[in-house]
Every structure is written in C-alpha cells, then in structure tokens.
Amino acid sequence: MDTPEKSSQIATPLSKFEDSPVFNYINSLSPIKPVKSLPVTQTFNSLNFASLPSIFTSPHVTSHKETRFFRRNNCSDLSKPGFSSENGNKASTNDDIAADASQLYDNSAELQENFDPAVSIAEVAVEASSDSKFAIELPRALKYDCGSPGSKPTPCGIETNCASELASTSAPVVPFVQEASDNVSSEGQVNSQGMCQMEQKKEMAGCDWESLISDTADLLIFNFPNDSGAFKGLIQKSLDPGARYTSVSPGFPQINFSGEPRMQAIDPVGSDQQHEMEDPSTQLGESSIVNEINRAQDSPNDDLDECLTCDPCEKVGMNIPVSCKPISNLHRGMLRRCLDFELVARRKNLGDGSNCSSSMILQSDEKMTTEDKQLVPLKPSSDSSRQILPGIGLHLNALAISSQDNKNIRIDSLSNGRYLSLPGSTASFHSPKTTEDPLHESLPSATNERDMVAVENGVSLAEDASQTSAYLAGEEYNQSSPKKKRRRLENGGEGDACKRCNCKKSKCLKLYCECFAAGVYCIEPCSCQDCFNKPIHEDTVLATRKQIESRNPLAFAPKVIRSADCLPELGEDSSKTPASARHKRGCNCKKSSCLKKYCECFQGGVGCSINCRCEGCKNTFGRKDGSAPTETECEAEEEMETCEKSVVDKHLQTTEIPNSEEQNPSSALPTTPLRLCRPLVQLPFSSKCKPPRSLLTIGSSSGFYTGHKYGKPNILRSQPKFEKGLQTGSEDEMPEILQENSTPSSGVKTSSPNSKRVSPPNTILGSSPSRRSGRKLILQSIPSFPSLTPQH
DNA sequence: GAGTTTGAAACT
DNA sequence: CAGTTTCAAACTC
C-alpha cells in the first residue's frame, strides 16, 4: 500500500523526534502527521495493530493526542521498530504531555501501589473493566478506521478527530487533542476539573454516541477510550451496563481511567512491544513465512487477513489488560497469555456482558463472537476485552499452580479484577455453578490472593491471581537467565507458573511448544529459537492455531479435565472438587509407568483413566485400572494434593465436561473461565515445581467450556453431568464416587489401553470422536463405579 | 550443561 | 487407523 512511503517519511521524523526534543515538541503540536501515515498502513498491517498495544501502554490519559498519535503512529510505524518505543517516549517528551505524563506516572505509581496492597476489588474490577473496554474500543476504532479510511467525521469532536486523523488532517485535530489531553490530565489528577471536562467530552461523546452508536459506535468508543472522561461518560450513559462502572466511576473513575493508562505508560509494555515491534516489517515477513512453514493449510486465508488487521488490535488489547497492572512483567505475561484467550475472551465477553464495562461494546462483541468465534477475537475491539480475560485466563491457568506460592499481591489485585470480570463471564456461562459464584464473591471480598487461596473455592481465583503474580515474578526472573529462572520456578515449584519453552525447531507454533499449547505467547524467559509465538506474529499464531484446531478441535483444550470439579464442588463437596480431574485423552506411557512427568496424566496431577493406554500404570494419582492411589503413594508425592488428586481422578469422569470444551475449537476461550475451577488441579503440581499447564489450562478450560457446553448441545453428556453435578452434588459425587469406588473396585480397571475406545460411552459420546475419550471415561467410569457408589 | 530417555505431536 | 518420524520436555549423568 501507500504505507511504505508514509512509513519511510514517518521514520525520519521519528528518528529526529527521538533525537531532538524540539522535534518532540513539534510532534506534540501536530501529532496528526504521524497519524496520517497510520491510516494507510493500518488497513492491512497487523503490525500496526501490534503497535497499538504500545499505544495503550503509553496512552496516558493525559493526552488524547498522544494516544491517538500513538495509535496512528503505531499503525503507521508498524513497519518501524523504533516508533512504538518513541510513542511511549513521546508522551513524556512533549512538554505539555510530559507534565501530564509525569503526573500520570505519579498517579500510576500510586495506583500501582494501591493495587498491590489492597486495592479495593471494586477499583481493580473497574480498572480492569475500563482497561478491557479501553482495549476493546481502541482496537475497534482502529479497525474501523482502517476499514473506513474515509470514516465520516462525526459531529462530535472526538469523531471529528478520528475522521480528521483518518483523513490525515493534522491541524484541526491538534487543538482538539491538546484540549482533550489537558482535560484528561486534569482528570487524572483532579476529578473536579476533569469531571467538567469529562462532561464536556461526554457531551461530545454523547452526541456521537447516540447518533453514532449504531453506525460508528466503534469510532466513538475509540475516542472515548482515549478520553478517560469521554469513556466514562459513554459507560455511564449508554452502557452502564455495569452499574459497577457507574458506581465505581464516581469513586475511582479518575484513578482507574487515568491510572490504567498511566500504568501502561509506565509499564514496559511498550518496551515489550518495542521488542516485538522491532521487526514489524520483518516480523510480518516472518509471520508470512511462518505461515508457509506451518503450511497454513487453511488457516483460512480470509481469517488470516482478518487476523492481520485484527491481530494487532488484539495485541493492543492484550497489552492493555496487562497494562492494568503496573508491572511491566504483567504486560508480558498478558501478551503471552492473550493468544488463545483472545478468542476465549470474546466469548467471555459475551458472558461477561454484565461484567464488561460497556454493554455496547459487549453487544458488538457478542455479535461478533456469535458469528466469528475465533476470527472475531481477532477483531480489535473484542480482543481488547477478551484479551483481558483471556490473557489472564491462560496465564493464570498456567501459573496458577506455581503462582500460589509466588502470590504477588499486586498482580493479585489485578487478577482479581480480572477474575471478577472473568468469573462473571464464566459464571454466566457456567451459570449454575456455585463454586464459581463463591469464587466471584470471594474475590471481591478477599482482596488478597492469599485469602482467596485459603478458600478452596477461592483457590481458583487465587490461582489466577497467583498465576498472574507468578507470571510477573516469572518475568522478573526472566530478566535473569531464563532457563535458570525457569528452573527456579520449577524448583520452587510454585514459581512454575510461568513455563518457558525451549523449542528449537517448532518455532513455538506447534503443540510441542508448551507455551503455544497453553495458548500463551512466549516470553523472554523462553529459550526458544525462531519463535513465532509472539504478539508480533499474532496472525501467524492464530493461523497456526486454526490449522491445528481444524485437525483437532480439542488440541488446545486443557489436557486435564477438571470441569467436574467446579461443578461438583458447588453441589456438594467443595473440598472434593479439586480432586476430580482426568486427562483428556489419557496417556500412552510404556516405560515411565506413569510415574514421571513424561506421563501427561502424572504431570497433570491426575490419575490415569480408562482412556489411558499406558502400560504398567503406577500413577500415584490414580491408576487407570481404577485402583485408587495408595495413601503411601499420595504421601510420597503430594500427600494432600494427592488425596485430592485421588478424588479428582475419580471425579475425572465428571471432567468429561472438558470434552465439551474440546469440542469447542475455540479452545482458547476455555482457558480463562475455567481457572476458577482449576484449583483442584493445582494441587498435584504444587508438590512439584511445575504446575502442569495442562491442568491449569484444563481447569480453566473446563469452566470455560462448561459455559460453552451450555451453549453447545454436543457436549450434552458431559454437560448434563456437569449441570447435574453443579446443580446437585449427588451427580458430581457420582464421579467422585466412581473414582473412589474405582479404587476399591480396582476391578474396574480397563486394563486394556484400548479400553478408552472400548468404553461403551462412546456411543453416547459419539457426537464427536475427539470428545469421546473424555466421555468414554465417564461412561466407563460410571459403569465400573456404580457398585462403588453405594458405599457413599 | 550435555546427553539420553520418553512420549506426545505430527506426519505418512 | 496404524505406523513412523519429529519434537521438546523430562530426566540422568
């Protein structure tokens, strides 16, 4: 497109800009210029979008200009590596902006601090929501902008700005932007003035909003995000969907809105992005190459295209959510996590509707989601929202186990906020499960992760939070040698949350890669080579994911299914809940006797099941034979956890629900929601360094899927069980019983590895082959166990 | 840290 | 669907 030229032009200014403060000042005056270039590039460059994240990072509330600039710049700059970084710097560089930025930073710092210790959940939630909204909005705006270069200028200043920007008209925009920035900054600092300004903005926004909502809702949103006030106004007016926002906004809005952006600015996200951004063009090329390499069989070209456009947005969104948390590491983690979850996030968004700040956004997102599941996620707007959730979900899942120990309060607070949103979504999906609800409730109540952790139900949340924290910690660790860090984490056991891959040939685009398999981006700690599993290569990653999912819809579903846990917990045994879990497909171990991490079941901290085809199974968590793990065994490794595990193993059948998850190709989704349930899974891992990702993911996925389940009839079986389990603990117990019974009933064994397939349930499962494994388990387990149940 | 083992994932 | 190859983690030294 035209972008190359523009990019080149921009590039020079950028360099100057960087070098000379004067340039910066000029830029501040006429930020539009950079923007101009952006529109063109944005249209197709995913990179542009990628740059967006940086924008968020540095979107300081202070200056709309900057934010816009950044956005645009980012878009335009996509090709330019340094640009993104510059953007981040710009805010600080510009005199006016700098002042605001400094304040913002201060505020952000405060915010961070606040968050860390005991940020009120509400605040966190608000922030998260706002962030999510932010992310969502921005991405959408970008998309739309891209999509409609000639986007009509709306009456509202904001829109006009956008339009002007789109048109590449710098002059008009600048003044407005300045004002906006001023307002914003004021808001960030003081509400009173900010409020007034905000109101004005709102008015503007409102005009646009009302008139545009239908048509250019995105644009409006776009604008709003930049303007904290505008954003607020939007939220309050149109959306309010979440009374939360309204309620919260009054109290914290300032902080939240301004704070988040600030956070972003502070956050190294920009740096991260920068890293990513470094080779935007190259990356693109790489991504394309990767796609080829991957064979991107299908990865629906269209999808890819969409991804290209949308991905960046998603990235941004990803970043944004991350930005919520002060720590740069978080951002990283978020980015990483976001991959899969983006998709999930959207779905969540649907579910989150209530949670989500803006109903509008949600609605749009929902629509999107309904139609485009995965693809949709790519869309910026939805992405942002999703991102938050998803990102969290993945990481959390992965981290959850280890994270518990790590537990960073800061992150926790953030995560909590996320959790809140997520849980809500999940809850909506899962609806019934009390466990989740408790979690949600607990979350708010328990500001501290620890508290959360303390409560089993809370555990899931805590896990998430802990994961996030762990993740952060991991990042920190990352700074040092990745491998060492990794080992530390592993050794530490808890720290494991952040896994790091060491892929050399797979480019981290295959399931071989733990990160990729977990739906998270690789991060610094990873020692992978030629890694494409990075936000920069989102399109590639997504495409690859699609491909893999096309082959195996369950490929990204959590390997360990705990779904039952959550449900069952609600029903009866909250305590037991954790235990139930099974490996989705079962292991195929021949030499490890399922006593080593080679065994996915063992690694996941779950007992082997009928599905397993292992030979000489001695899985301490539970043998496929049905023999329950001996106490000694449990003691040996996990003791407490093992106990739970045993229970879990038995419960695994319930986990079948995951199958439903599996069904959902959009596995990504599963990650986040399930987390809540996850806690159970963690147990096993806790003993060891690593928390099996699979478990974490599984847990999350299970929950998530459960939601899907409801949506999808296919899962029916598992669902019904879950539902039942959820509704009535009795059913849940059934699985447990089965498990337990299984042990006693040792006879249950399906000794034959093939047994999985043999399992009669298949017929029932029949709906989807991939699923059958899980279902099979259930069925099998049921038959075998029934006798046992009586015991209980 | 290097090399081996292991089993999942990918491929045929 | 089964067999083989590839891959990266897990493990050992």
Q: CA-to-CA distance for A724 and A732, rounded, in angstroms?
A: 7
The mean per-residue pLDDT over the stretch A581-598 comes to 85
User: What band does A542 get if pLDDT is binned at 50, 70 and 90?
Assistant: confident
A46-57: b (≥16 Cβ within 10 Å) or e = bbbbbbbbbbbb
Q: Which residues from 752-781 of A have any strand C atom under 7 Å from their CB? A: 769
Render pLDDT for A697-727 as a digit per residue (tens, 0 to 9). 333 333 333 333 333 333 333 333 333 333 3
Name the token pair of A734. 């059934």
Q: Which residue has the higher pLDDT, A21 or A177?
A: A21
Nucleotides of C under 7 A from a protein CB: 1, 6-11
Extended strands (E) in A100-242: none
Q: What percent of chain A has pLDDT over 90?
A: 0
Angle A64-77/A191-226 helices, nearest 10 degrees? 20
Which nucleotide's C1' atom has the smallest distance to the CA of A596? C10
How many angstroms is C1' of C3 away from CA of A345?
39
Lowest mean pLDDT among A28-42, A221-235, A599-613: A221-235
pLDDT at A341: 39
Render pLDDT for A401-420 as a digit per residue (tens, 0 to 9). 333 333 333 333 333 332 32
Q: Which residue has the higher pLDDT, A620 or A143?
A: A620
**DSSP states of A12-58:** HHHHHHHH-HHHHHHHHH-THHHHHHHHHHHHH-HHHHHHHHHHHHS
The mean per-residue pLDDT over the stretch A362-381 comes to 36
The mean per-residue pLDDT over the stretch A52-61 comes to 33
pTM listed for this prediction: 0.40
How many angstroms is C1' of B6 away from CA of A608?
17
* Residue A22 predicted with pLDDT over 50: yes
Is the shortest CB-to-strand distance from A505 to strand C under 7 Å? yes
Three-state DSSP class for A583?
Answer: strand
User: What band does A217 get if pLDDT is binned at 50, 70 and 90?
Assistant: very low
Is the shortest CB-to-strand distance from A483 to strand C under 7 Å? no
User: What band does A617 get if pLDDT is binned at 50, 70 and 90?
Assistant: confident
The mean per-residue pLDDT over the stretch A175-189 comes to 38
How many angstroms is C1' of C2 away from CA of A267?
52
How many angstroms is C1' of B9 away from CA of A775?
22
Which nucleotide's C1' atom has the smallest distance to the CA of A586? B8
Which nucleotide's C1' atom has the smallest distance to the CA of A510? B9
Is the shortest CB-to-strand distance from A501 to strand C under 7 Å? yes
Q: Residues for chain A: how many in total? A: 792
Is the shortest CB-to-strand distance from A551 to strand C under 7 Å? no
pLDDT at A498: 58
* Residue A444 predicted with pLDDT over 60: no
How many angstroms is C1' of B12 away from CA of A335?
36
User: What band does A24 get if pLDDT is binned at 50, 70 and 90?
Assistant: low
The mean per-residue pLDDT over the stretch A319-346 comes to 40
How many angstroms is C1' of C3 away from CA of A425?
44
Q: Which residue is nearest to nucleotide C9 (CA to C1')?
A: A598
Is the shortest CB-to-strand distance from A597 to strand C under 7 Å? yes
Render pLDDT for A244-297 as a digit per residue (tens, 0 to 9). 333 333 333 333 333 333 333 333 333 344 443 334 344 444 444 444 444 433
**Comparing C-alpha atoms, which of A481, A459, A462 is closest to residue A470?**
A462
Nucleotides of B under 7 A from a protein CB: 1, 5-11
Distances (CA, A) of A573 to A42, A219, A226, A566, A648: 52, 48, 47, 10, 11
How many angstroms is C1' of C8 away from CA of A510?
10
**Comparing C-alpha atoms, which of A660, A655, A631 is closest to residue A643?**
A631
pLDDT at A534: 87
* Residue A556 predicted with pLDDT over 50: yes
Residues 6+ positions from A477 with CB-CB distance below 8 Å: A484, A485, A486, A488, A489, A495, A498, A525
* Residue A489 predicted with pLDDT over 70: no
